[in-house]
Amino acid sequence: DTEVTQTPKHLVMGMTNKKSLKCEQHMGHRAMYWYKQKAKKPPELMFVYSYEKLSINESVPSRFSPECPNSSLLNLHLHALQPEDSALYLCASSQGGAGTGVPGTQYFGPGTRLTVL
């Protein structure tokens, strides 16, 4: 099973709201990722967690706050977003990650389509 699940599928929020995106995998993968994808563009890396520790933060604004409660779960907390943050947010996982010595073939979830009004 190579499934990564994400909830919710769609989210509409105002600029003053606080919301969270959730991601789950049960493949025993030790690296998890958040990507942002705008229409007709490739995914852009936001954060990487390796063994539940944040290993890469691509200078993402602080209004995005990741959290990895355990090896199967990854959250992205959203606060005071801007309309330009509207995008498809993708979670991915891989067996290995930065510094693990294991190939990082990534499996993606279906994404959360976020609209910020």
Cα separation, 5 vs 110, in Å, equals 7
User: Is 9 or 16 the residue whose CB approaches another protein more closely?
Assistant: 9
Cβ–Cβ < 8 Å for 48, 90:
no
- Our finding on whether 22 is near another protein (CB under 8 A) is no
Q: List the one residue from 25, 32, 33, 36 that touches another protein (CB under 8 A).
A: 33
Task: Identify each DSSP E strand in the chain by its residue range.
Answer: 4-7, 10-13, 18-25, 31-37, 44-50, 53-57, 64-70, 73-79, 87-94, 106-108, 112-116
Please, what is the minimum distance in Å from the beta carbon of residue 80 to another protein?
26
- Our finding on whether 105 is near another protein (CB under 8 A) is yes
- Our finding on whether 66 is near another protein (CB under 8 A) is no
Site residues (CB under 8 A) for another protein?
Answer: 2, 4, 6, 31, 33, 40-43, 45, 48, 56, 88, 90, 96-98, 103-111, 113
